[in-house]
Amino acid sequence: MSSTPWLSIIGLGEDGVEGLSPAARALLEGAEAVFGGARHLALAAGHLSGSAHPWPSPMLAGLPALLARRGRPTAVLASGDPFCFGIGATLARHVGPGEFLCLPAPSAFALACARLGWAMQDCATISFCGRPLERLLPLLQPGARLLALSADAATPAQVAALLCRHGFGPTRMVVLEALGGPRERRHETKAEAFAHAPDPLNMLALEVVAGPAARVLPLAPGLPEAFFEQEGQITKREVRAVTLAMLAPRQGELLWDIGCGSGSVAIEWLLRHPANRAIGLEPRPERAAGAARNALALGVPGLRLVRAAAPEGLAGLPAPDAVFVGGGGGQPGVLEAAWQALRPGGRLVANAVTIETEAVLYAAHARWGGALTRLGVERLDRVGTMHGFRPAMTVTQYVAEKPWAEAGAAAAMASPLAVAGLGARPGVSAAAIVALVREAERRSGLAVGALAAPWFRREVPALAEAAATLGVPLHWVEEEALKAVQPRCPTPSEAARRATGYAAIAEGCALALGGRLALPRITGEGVTCALSLEE
């Protein structure tokens, strides 16, 4: 493939083409086709020599038409900085860094800071475009400055109502409309007095002020039980704080919360960093529904809930970085399934209050090592007309970190991991890919450590989903590498050649990353798979 970028991603402000640099204007005017929103295309009207392509709704439906132009001069118009809550990151998932050139304009956040005299590094940023308003709640710290992109003209009033419901009515709100263009204007008020009909193109600047009844989310773990909707099935805040410390959340990691009940541990995990992910396993529908409401009320609506019991409900879930077993730990196979799924270096934390579950934790300690701790909490309570400390049930906590190379798996670790080369149809499902990779592992006796797919299937989301489910990286095989290994592929397909120009895609992708073929092509539903190993 050519190393010359064929795609120009051009940031456009409300001042239109006049605000573009000479280089950006030249790329726009030289493009054979220009993709963008109707507003952006209207701003650039009169400067397009190529065809205009408004994004459909949903926008992702327009990506195949864009990607079909690979190799020909094409431009995409975006608001301000395309990589600041914009289309840039979406395009970069489908187009390699050498294929595009991005020329950003000042972002709406940069313009807002310039108008208000705020330092960007002191502000938190958020977008409400396609995202729940509740994501704002963890950011509501007294004195905080927040910048938020609105979805439409209704967003500012909705944010004002949210602030008032949670006790932040005195918060200063500045609505900045059509920044950088001739229609720019500004409206300032308090959330509790908001009454304004803004332009649909607007953003918000907030200076947070907490009222007397505001519920400010503490930055430390161990939220009060009163913050959660629950029926007593909740890890007490003191034990929860210790549990979170033992789980040791890190940016972007995934937690399994098995028997999540009210969802308190998973929710606090998500509150530690906005990139964190959590899956709660809860078989009782009413508790799962309550956990979902708690997650929304506490500003982490991304909590994924699976209404099933362990270990059966764990099948097919993406591999976790940490597992908390708060309920059901005494059931046969639960800890074993969690330990097997856990990534190397991951943490397993299990709490028990019954002697039956304690026995399971003792066995786990004997098998995997780790640490056992007993946690006792006593709280002041009334005793008749006097007071005394009433103890809660003692919690036995098991903590273990999965080693990178377990002694019990030495034989498996001694063998190199295989690369699974994949040929996939555009409509293939992630489940079909995962099933075929598992079948390839079964037939070969090898463990797959990476997936490899051809560059022209970057727009197939199931490939990335399958890699996430399997817990392995996904590599894209470029044209030159796929072409070079075709003579070494033992089972060429004329149908594949007619459809793609290559007779052996799965085997070719496997050989491009590995030294020798360990399993020739096998076929599944919309997908083919072959395995290779380094020589």
- Total domains, the chain: 4
Domain final position from 57, 84, 105: 105
The answer on 375 and 238 residing in a single domain is yes
Residue 404: its pLDDT value, please?
75
Contact 256, 235 (CB under 8 A): no
Confidence of residue 516 (pLDDT cuts 50, 70, 90): confident
The answer on 184 and 86 residing in a single domain is no
Q: What is the pTM of this model?
A: 0.73
Question: Is pLDDT above 90 for 535?
Answer: no
The answer on 258 and 370 residing in a single domain is yes
**Lowest model confidence (mean pLDDT) among 145-154, 350-359, 515-524:** 515-524
Q: Give residue-wise pLDDT tens across range 415-473.
A: 568 899 999 998 899 999 999 998 888 888 788 888 999 999 998 999 999 988 888 88
Of 508, 502, 516, 413, the closest CA to residue 452 belongs to: 508
**What CATH number did the domain enclosing 525 receive?**
3.30.420.180
- 413 lies in a domain? no
- 214 lies in a domain? no
Q: Six-digit token pair at 494?
A: 């004329």
The answer on 451 and 303 residing in a single domain is no
The answer on 154 and 125 residing in a single domain is yes
Residue 73: its pLDDT value, please?
95
- 2 lies in a domain? no
Report the b/e string of 175-199 with b at 16+ CB within 10 A: bbbbbbeeebeebebbbbebebebb
Q: φ and ψ at 408, to 5 degrees?
A: -70, -15
Backbone region of residue 389 per phi and psi (left: phi > 0; alpha: psi in -120 to 50; beta: other values): beta
Range of the domain at 476: 418-533
What whole-number distance in Å separates Cα of residue 356 and Cα of residue 360? 7
Domain final position from 75, 105, 135: 105
**What CATH number did the domain enclosing 393 receive?**
3.40.50.150
Question: For residue 147, how many other CB atoms are within 10 A of its CB?
Answer: 24
Of 354, 355, 361, the closest CA to residue 336 belongs to: 361
- 407 lies in a domain? no
Of residues 68 and 93, more confidence is placed in 68
**Lowest model confidence (mean pLDDT) among 170-174, 207-211, 433-437, 500-504:** 500-504
- Tell me the chain's radius of gyration from C-alpha atoms: 27
**What CATH number did the domain enclosing 194 receive?**
3.30.950.10
The answer on 377 and 322 residing in a single domain is yes
- Whole-number mean pLDDT of the chain? 91
Contact 521, 529 (CB under 8 A): yes
Q: Six-digit token pair at 287?
A: 């508790």
CA distances from 48 to 16, 34, 41 (A): 13, 8, 9
Question: Is pLDDT above 50 for 1?
Answer: no
CA distances from 216 to 185, 203, 299, 492 (A): 32, 24, 12, 63
Q: How many degrees, rounded to 5, is the angle at CA 482 between CA 481 and CA 488?
A: 105
Question: Is pLDDT above 90 for 412?
Answer: no
The answer on 159 and 70 residing in a single domain is no
Residue 328: its pLDDT value, please?
81
**Lowest model confidence (mean pLDDT) among 30-39, 291-300, 480-489:** 480-489
The answer on 397 and 423 residing in a single domain is no
The answer on 376 and 525 residing in a single domain is no
Of residues 478 and 410, more confidence is placed in 478
The full length of the chain comes to 535
What whole-number distance in Å separates Cα of residue 505 and Cα of residue 459? 16
The answer on 295 and 203 residing in a single domain is no
Q: Give residue-wise pLDDT tens across range 308-350.
A: 999 999 988 888 999 999 888 888 899 999 999 998 889 999 9
The answer on 100 and 137 residing in a single domain is no
Q: Give residue-wise pLDDT tens across range 227-236.
A: 999 887 788 9
Confidence of residue 96 (pLDDT cuts 50, 70, 90): confident
Q: Give residue-wise pLDDT tens across range 131-162.
A: 899 999 999 999 999 999 999 999 999 999 99
Backbone region of residue 445 per phi and psi (left: phi > 0; alpha: psi in -120 to 50; beta: other values): left
What 3-state class would DSSP assign to 496? Answer: helix
**Lowest model confidence (mean pLDDT) among 66-80, 127-141, 374-388, 494-508:** 494-508
CA distances from 495 to 133, 262, 470 (A): 49, 53, 29
* E-only strand ranges, 286-413: 304-306, 322-325, 347-352, 371-375, 378-383, 386-391, 395-401
**What CATH number did the domain enclosing 13 receive?**
3.40.1010.10
What whole-number distance in Å separates Cα of residue 447 and Cα of residue 442? 9
Q: Where are the alpha helices (DSSP H) in 200-316?
A: 237-247, 264-272, 285-297
Domain final position from 89, 105, 121: 105
What whole-number distance in Å separates Cα of residue 390 and Cα of residue 377? 9
Question: Is pLDDT above 60 for 2?
Answer: no
The answer on 526 and 429 residing in a single domain is yes
- 60 lies in a domain? yes
